[in-house]
Copies of this chain bind each other. A is one copy, B any other.
Amino acid sequence: MKRYKKNSDYSYSLGTELTLELLLQRPEEVISVYIHSRQKENEILDRIKGLCQKHKIDVIYSDKIFNIVSDKENCYIIGAFRKYESIINPKSNHVVLVNPSNTGNLGTIIRTSIGFGINDLAIIAPAVDIFDPKTVRASMGALFRLNFQYFESFADYLQSIEKRAIFPFMLDGARQLDQIEIPERYSLVFGSEASGLDAVYQTYGQSILIKHLKTIDSLNLCNAVSIALYQFTKGKV
């Protein structure tokens, strides 16, 4: 096993709870599970070993891989798994991220999205790698419950989904978030941390503003997505 690269065909879950979640949600993708000599015998380890046995997954006792693939000191269990294909459900509600560039932010957005019952994430390229171990870790394993799909352009995305309301979130959004009537089918669209959505997104649907004071330039991307998810799903979660 080697250090993770974007073009690797496998990735890693770095941590105990994360590896348990991997084994529960995606056992068919797991290549092997590594256990560090400092890992104590406990209930969660028993569950992990039990799941490995059930799914005929190799359990390897070795400390070497931890120095190679993990930069956290308190990581004592690693799961190696094959990257898998995923597609979004064209009929369900979506979060759409245009050119997200931060691995941690992407993982945190996935965690919050799954928590609010939005299980489909479209990503418009170029974008950060969803299988980067930092994204996997920041998602706290929510990635393993997610349907996701990369698209070359927003036009490509629109062509592959069923008709719905499109809500681009923009600093010059035409309506305020709390004044939007929530339709049955929608996509919530967000730009990158650095530059937000291009002006052309005003033409794709009802642009939304999360109003804040001029004392800050913008909200943090992952906070903006969280607030939007809360407002759109409240009373339905």
Residues of A within 8 A of B (CB): 108, 111-112, 114-117, 140, 142, 145, 177-178, 210-213, 215-217, 219-220, 222-223, 226-227, 230-231, 234-235, 237
A-B contact pairs, 15 of them (CB 8 A): A108-B220, A108-B223, A111-B216, A112-B219, A112-B223, A114-B215, A114-B216, A142-B215, A142-B216, A212-B237, A213-B237, A222-B223, A223-B226, A226-B226, A230-B230
**Cα-based distance from A185 to B235 in the complex (angstroms):** 26
Closest-by-CB residue of B relative to A113 is B216
B178 in contact with A215 (CB, 8 Å) = no
Closest-by-CB residue of B relative to A109 is B223
Q: Out of B115, B145, B219, which one reaches A219, CB within 8 Å?
A: B115
**Cα-based distance from A227 to B234 in the complex (angstroms):** 11
- Known A-B contacts A219-B226, A223-B223, A226-B226; the reply to A235 vs B111 at CB < 8 A is no
Chain B residues with Cβ below 8 Å from A177 are: 234
Chain B residues with Cβ below 8 Å from A112 are: 216, 219-220, 223
The 7 closest A-B pairs by CB, nearest first: A115-B212, A223-B226, A115-B216, A227-B230, A178-B234, A108-B220, A112-B223
Chain B residues with Cβ below 8 Å from A114 are: 213, 215-216
Chain B residues with Cβ below 8 Å from A226 are: 219-220, 223, 226-227
**Cα-based distance from A227 to B114 in the complex (angstroms):** 16
**Cα-based distance from A222 to B212 in the complex (angstroms):** 17
A115 in contact with B213 (CB, 8 Å) = yes
Chain B residues with Cβ below 8 Å from A235 are: 178
A213 in contact with B117 (CB, 8 Å) = yes
Closest-by-CB residue of B relative to A225 is B223
Interface centre among A140, A142, A215 (most CB of B within 10 A): A215
**Cα-based distance from A111 to B219 in the complex (angstroms):** 7
Chain B residues with Cβ below 8 Å from A211 are: 237
B216 in contact with A140 (CB, 8 Å) = yes
